[in-house]
Amino acid sequence: MSYNIRYNWIRWQLNRLDRKKARIYVHEHAIEKEAYENLTVSHILETVKTGKVAINKCEYPEKICFKRYFGKEKRSCVVITRFEKRHIKAITIWQTAGN
C-alpha cells in the first residue's frame, strides 16, 4: 500500500471520530502490560488524545498507532488503537526511553 493511500485512510479515520472527545476503552491486554511497562491509564489516554500518529506502525483498516513523549519522565509512550464506530479501543502499549 502506498504512502498516500495509507495517509488518506488514516486522515479519514481521524476526521470521522474526534479522538479528543471520543470515548476511549482500554483493552485488558493493555491493562496487563500497564504494570509491566510502568505506565498508568492517564498516560494511555493522554497519548491517544494528543499523541502523534506513527504512520509506519498503522495497519489497514482500523489500527492506528499514537506516540507521545513525556518530557519530565524522559520516556515515550506508544499506543496501538483500533477505531470502532463510536469509540476508540487501546489495544496494546509500550514505552521507549527518550524521544
**CATH number of domain containing 20:** 3.30.2310
Neighbours of 33 (CB within 10 A): 16
pLDDT, tens digit, 9 for 90 and up, residues 23-82: 999 988 888 877 777 788 888 999 999 999 998 888 888 899 999 999 998 889 999 999
How far is Cα 77 from Cα 75, in angstroms, rounded to an integer? 7
How far is Cα 76 from Cα 79, in angstroms, rounded to an integer? 10
pLDDT, tens digit, 9 for 90 and up, residues 61-78: 889 999 999 999 888 999
Q: Which of 67, 70, 27 is nearest to 48 (CA)?
A: 67
Q: Provide the residue range defining the domain that includes 28.
A: 3-97
The pTM (predicted TM-score) of the whole model is 0.86
Q: Given the C-alpha cell 483500533, which residue does it identify? A: 82
User: In total, how many domains does the chain have?
Assistant: 1
Neighbours of 81 (CB within 10 A): 27
